[in-house]
Amino acid sequence: MRSLSDHHPDGTVGVTVEGEVSLINRQAARLLCLSDEHVIGGRVEDVLRLQDQDGNNWWQFNDPANSLSTRTGIPEQSWLNSRGEEVLTTARLVRERPLAPVQAIAIGIRSGRGRARLDRERSDLVATVAHELRSPLTGVKGFVQALLNRWDKLNDDQRKMMLETVNADADRLVRLIAELLDVARIDTGRLSLYPRDCNAVVLTQRVVDSVSAGTSRTIELEAADDLPEIFADPDKYTQVVTNLVENAVRHGQGRVLVSLDRSPQDATPVGVRVCVDDQGEGIPKEMRNRVFTKFWKHGSSGGSGLGMYIVGGLARAHGGHVLVDDAPGGGARVIVDWPCEDLRPE
């Protein structure tokens, strides 16, 4: 039994109702900082040396041997071992039958590092979102305050300029909130798609025209003849291409080239290949797998760090595929193979 429990990834401790240790595996011994694993038959107080922030001992605090007859277990709790490391414990109260007295206690122990990592990720998320929201909100607050305090002293052109800036910052806030909602839907698998046969050239041209109107950079579209229609939610496809083009504008220096062609026969899926090339610094090969993670940023350019994560999530939701390569003229190339038929994952 001990040999089998040693292969379990979490720590396991078996205790009799009298408080005698009947089983302890190698992982539990390590988490409990026991140099001598031969503690079978020892007192649980000496073996299960876990305390909370108030100095309470696990066994005395939970008192599992004297639990109510309806109690079946002890939910997950956070404790500190003798090295001050967080460990998470759960317990199952073993009874011969329901409502019978407790005969033994099976205690599970695992490291709290995983939860600490999740806590750090949540903190990073809050910090990133707060930073991204603060910047446009500061602009909105400042210009609105100026309009309220100096309305009579400003001419029409100045008022219009301030209102246009407030409107642009409000649009930025709306986009950021929409990105966060998309990330949540992608993470939870609740992304709603309304796909149909679409003309990729028409949708892509609209994106190119829209982004070009807001930048002095040259954005060109090259499309092969007789391209098949793609199977896509037009709004989501537009969002994917918009993110790619805006990223290319943000990180590149020269022109941005968007090209549409048939996917190679060995590509997965077979359909239309969308390539977006910039003339920036490019992305090193060792970093390309990180491009599609949340809040990944490259260089000093702004952005929420969510765009490429959303691109990858939306493409996969349609059965497509995204990868990063080198652009022929230098810089980065992002390739999206978009299917022509319904290949959505079940």
pLDDT digits (tens, 9 = 90+) for 255-281: 899 999 999 888 778 899 999 999 888
Residue 207 pLDDT = 94
Within a domain: residue 166?
A: yes
CA distance 326 to 16: 64
- The pLDDT of residue 217 is above 80: yes
Residue 231 in domain:
yes
Same domain? For 200 and 316 the reply is yes
Range of the domain at 310: 196-339
Which pLDDT does position 187 carry in this prediction?
A: 83
Same domain, yes or no, for 140 and 262? no
Between residues 219 and 268, the one the model is more confident about: 219
Strands 219-223 and 256-262: parallel
Query: Do 231 and 316 fall within a single domain?
Result: yes
Do 60 and 98 lie in a common domain? yes
**pLDDT the model gives residue 157:** 92
Domain count, the chain: 3
* Residue 336: C-alpha distances to residues 44, 77, 93, 229, 255 (Å): 59, 46, 54, 15, 19
- Domain end among 168, 188, 208: 188
- Residues 218-242, mean pLDDT to the nearest whole number: 94
pTM higher than 0.85: no
In terms of domains, do 180 and 51 share one?
no
Asked whether residue 344 is domain-assigned, the answer is: no
Residues 307 and 257 in one domain: yes
Are residues 28 and 77 both part of a single domain?
A: yes
Say if residue 83 is in the same domain as residue 14.
yes
Q: Is residue 76 part of a domain?
A: yes
Residues of the chain with pLDDT > 90: what percent?
A: 41
SS3 per-residue string spanning 272-327: EEEEEECCCCCCCHHHHHHCCCCCCCCCCCCCCCCHHHHHHHHHHHCCCEEEEEEC
Q: How far is Cα 31 from Cα 42, in angstroms, rounded to an integer?
A: 17
135 shares its domain with 48: no
What CATH number should be reported for the domain holding residue 181? 1.10.287.130
Last residue of one domain, picked from the residues 111, 129, 163: 111
pLDDT in tens, 243-253: 999 888 988 77
Residue where one domain finishes, among candidates 92, 111, 130? 111
User: Is residue 345, in this structure, part of any structural domain at all?
Assistant: no
> Same domain, yes or no, for 204 and 238?
yes
- pLDDT of 103 reads 92
DSSP annotation string for 200-230: HHHHHHHHHHHHHTT-SS-EEEEE-TTPPPE
Question: Does 128 or 330 have the greater pLDDT score?
Answer: 330
Find, among 105, 117, 61, 57, the residue nearest to 81 by Cα: 57
Assess if residue 346 is contained within a domain: no
In a domain, 288, yes or no: yes
Question: What CATH number should be reported for the domain holding residue 28?
Answer: 3.30.450.20
pLDDT per position as a tens digit, 139-189: 899 999 999 999 999 999 999 999 998 998 888 888 888 888 888 888 888
pLDDT average, residue stretch 279-304:
75
Residues 81 and 129 occupy one common structural domain: no
Asked whether residue 128 is assigned to any structural domain, the reply reads yes
**Does residue 21 sit in the same domain as residue 96?**
yes
Could you tell me the CATH number of the domain that includes residue 226? Answer: 3.30.565.10
Which helix (H) or strand (E) segment holds residue 94: the answer is strand 86-95
